[in-house]
Structure 1
Amino acid sequence: MTIYGAQTAEAPLFDEQARDYDAILVMSFGGPEGQDDVIPFLQKVAGGRNIPAERLEEVAVHYRDFGGVSPINAQNRALIAALEQELAAHDIDLPVYFGNRNWHPFIEDTIRRMRDDGVKRVLTFFTSAFSSYSGCRQYREDIIRASEPIEGAPTFDRLRTFYNHPGFINPMIENTRAAFEQFPSDQREDVQLIFTAHSIPLGMAHNSDYEAQLKEACRLVAEGIGRKDYVLVYQSRSGPPHVPWLEPDICDYLREIGQQGVKQVVMVPIGFISDHMEVMFDLDTEAMQVAEEMGMNLVRAATVGTHPQFISMIRELILERMTENPQRRALGTCGPSHDICPVGCCLPR
């Protein structure tokens, strides 16, 4: 399978040419928007695997507690509205489309709409700050599979990963500082700083820069608020228990430090750009319940959402691909991520 935005033997990692594009695609995971959507959505996520109905219903409870509505679609629509305003304010005439992997609007329907609108070349923004199979490569695979049966489908390039871009890091510094400010000033030195991100199988982690990028983003945010002591933990693992995933789990870690006497914690969802179900249920519900059981005061920092600096960052990433020899901003020591993924990038082992 040829993957859009992937390197061939002769292709560079960075595109220094000025390109013309007809549209922007915001591509995301998708989520149900009513009780009747929940099980069909979970079956779509399962991808044909024979998962027992009772197991699907266990997961469905997470959504049913919120009326069967995942917040992710509304948040992505808010992001798109903010991006459209940002582009218009800077006289950038590019329509913004929305497509999902697992729910409406499905990516194949969006590609047909683009084709019918006469769109030929598209820049794609994936709603993940970090490189991984599920957060980048799988989206590219989704696009090619959806495009193959559509005659006249546009071609797609992707915007680079932005985990160390100041437009992502600076809002997270601001949000983390605001969380610390909820504690009395004379107690803040004793507040433990915990970053959390979605766990992935070790087989995926070992063939991507996911862990390294997370650690760099955590370091940059902690440094930005003047903290040297912090920890990165993971959440939301799924799949068979015998398959190893990144650890420690946030709830296990909270129990561990609670037993050690830690009473005040700031939790930063560094791995997410908006308050979708993994944040609202896994953190705001489950992790908060554990903290309460342990007698902790746990404050969760906000995600970047539609922060003006974050929306401006997306515009900046778009202009990079439309400009010859662009300046690519990045904080820290790792430099900017590539425009074009290396061969075999993020393939699970």
Structure 2
Amino acid sequence: MPARSSDIRRGVLLFNLGGPETLEDVRPFLFNLFSDPEIIRIKNDAVRKLLAWFIAATRQLKSRGLYRQIGGGSPLRKITEDQAAALETALEQRGLRARVYVGMRCWKPSIDDAVGRIAEDRLSHLIALPLFPQHSFTTTGSCLNYFKRVIRERGLAASTAVQYIDAWYGEPLYIESVADLIREATARFPDKDSKEIHLLYSAHSIPARYVTEGDPYLEQTQKTVALINARLGNHFRSTLAFQSKVGPVKWLEPATMEVIARFGRNGTKQVLVVPISFVSDHIETLQEIDILYKRLAKEAGIPEFHRAASLNLYPKFIECLATLCLNTFQSIDD
């Protein structure tokens, strides 16, 4: 990350959910996750936290087993901090000196930690940028609502002008980045004819009732898929599905694992999974898709099952984030 200077008055705060970095972190991470009122919609704090304690206690062994399969912890913090460093460099190369911070909703460095650093640095302007292309109450909504409460309580809202970037799924460089990674991944298939490769877009699921209550996530995810397909010339067959369901309530459908089973029954031979609501590798890509779904595909008789790379530090994606920030700062200056 470029050297810090006391005369830098602008900043960017990148938000993500975070993830446990060791097996010992799993239980407290799960508690933080399920304590979130945007995820477990119980108004009574004490009851919600009691339920979160119960879920964390009962799920920790299974979750530790999953994290053990990917080396014992999530790489999300390191990837996000690397994205922050790359973004800071990209902004400086385009003439803007700004500090880029990381705040995790459910783990470390926390949003509270980030706000503390921002206050110490006495910024005049800050961009709040959730690393979720599509808005959901459970991700962007949760991060920004909590952030607004923290800066209000600490008095930062009065001293630092904050600009919020919400959904950015339609950004051309984001769409181009995902399309590029899909094209790169198709080289792994023996039959490279686009008509013989089925794109399986896999997005993190949310409870279906959230959509009926106004969550725009489903519509924005569908629009994302349409934009990427158009960028690819609509040459591929594609299906949007949803992964990572937790609990007995109805979630968005179809489930990714059910689609994989259907592909097997229908004789589909080449499937490329495209993580559509994730910008970084973590448990849902490295374990759920790369290990679990790959095994399910093999059992279903799908001989060629691959995943498009996550955005991570893809240069065009970093340029996308830089463009979002530059355009936002430009609107302030205008």
Classify the TM-score, shorter chain.
Answer: 0.7 to 0.9
Q: How many angstroms apart in 1 are the aligned matches of 2:113 and 2:259?
A: 42
Flag the 1:126–1:21 CA change in 2: closer, same or farther, 3 A.
farther
Q: SS at 2:272's partner residue?
A: strand
Moved more, 181-190 or 205-214: 181-190
**Alignment match of 1:145 (pick from 149, 153, 156):** 149
Shift of 1:198: 0.4
Q: SS at 1:103's partner residue?
A: coil
Per-residue CA deviations over 1:286-330 (Å, capped at 9, x if unaligned) read 111101111211011112222222111112111222224999xxx
In the alignment of these two chains, the number of paired residues is 306
Flag the 1:94–1:228 CA change in 2: closer, same or farther, 3 A.
same
Could you tell me the percent identity over the aligned residues? 28
Kindly report which structure 2 residues correspond to 1:310-325, keeping only aligned pairs within 5 A, or say none: 310-324=317-331
Unaligned 5+ residue runs, structure 1? 1-19, 328-349
Flag the 1:326–1:233 CA change in 2: closer, same or farther, 3 A.
farther
Shift of 1:167: 1.0
Unaligned 5+ residue runs, structure 2? 1-7, 36-48
2:54 corresponds to 1:51:
yes
Kindly report which structure 2 residues correspond to 1:215-234, keeping only aligned pairs within 5 A, or say none: 215-226=222-233, 227=235, 229-234=237-242
Aligned to 1:6: none
- TM-score normalised to the size of structure 2? 0.85
The one-letter amino acid of 1:236's match is: S
Flag the 1:163–1:152 CA change in 2: closer, same or farther, 3 A.
closer
Aligned to 1:333: none
Flag the 1:155–1:134 CA change in 2: closer, same or farther, 3 A.
farther
Flag the 1:147–1:55 CA change in 2: closer, same or farther, 3 A.
same
Flag the 1:122–1:258 CA change in 2: closer, same or farther, 3 A.
same
Kindly report which structure 2 residues correspond to 1:236-247, keeping only aligned pairs within 5 A, or say none: 236-238=244-246, 240-241=247-248, 243-247=249-253
Aligned to 1:336: none
Greater RCO structure (CA 8 Å; 6+ sep): 1
Flag the 1:104–1:325 CA change in 2: closer, same or farther, 3 A.
closer
Kindly report which structure 2 residues correspond to 1:1-349, keeping only aligned pairs within 5 A, or say none: 22-47=10-35, 48=49, 49-52=52-55, 53-152=57-156, 154-185=160-191, 187-206=193-212, 207-226=214-233, 227=235, 229-238=237-246, 240-241=247-248, 243-296=249-302, 297-324=304-331
Q: Detail structure 1 runs of 4+ shifted over 6 Å in the superposition.
A: none
Q: How many angstroms apart in 1 are the aligned matches of 2:222 and 2:144?
A: 25
Q: How many angstroms apart in 2 are the aligned matches of 1:276 and 1:105?
A: 16
Moved more, 258-267 or 149-158: 149-158
Per-residue CA deviations over 1:126-179 (Å, capped at 9, x if unaligned) read 110001102211111110232343244545321242211111110111111122
Shift of 1:188: 4.1
Aligned-residue RMSD, C-alpha:
2.2
- TM-score normalised to the size of structure 1? 0.82
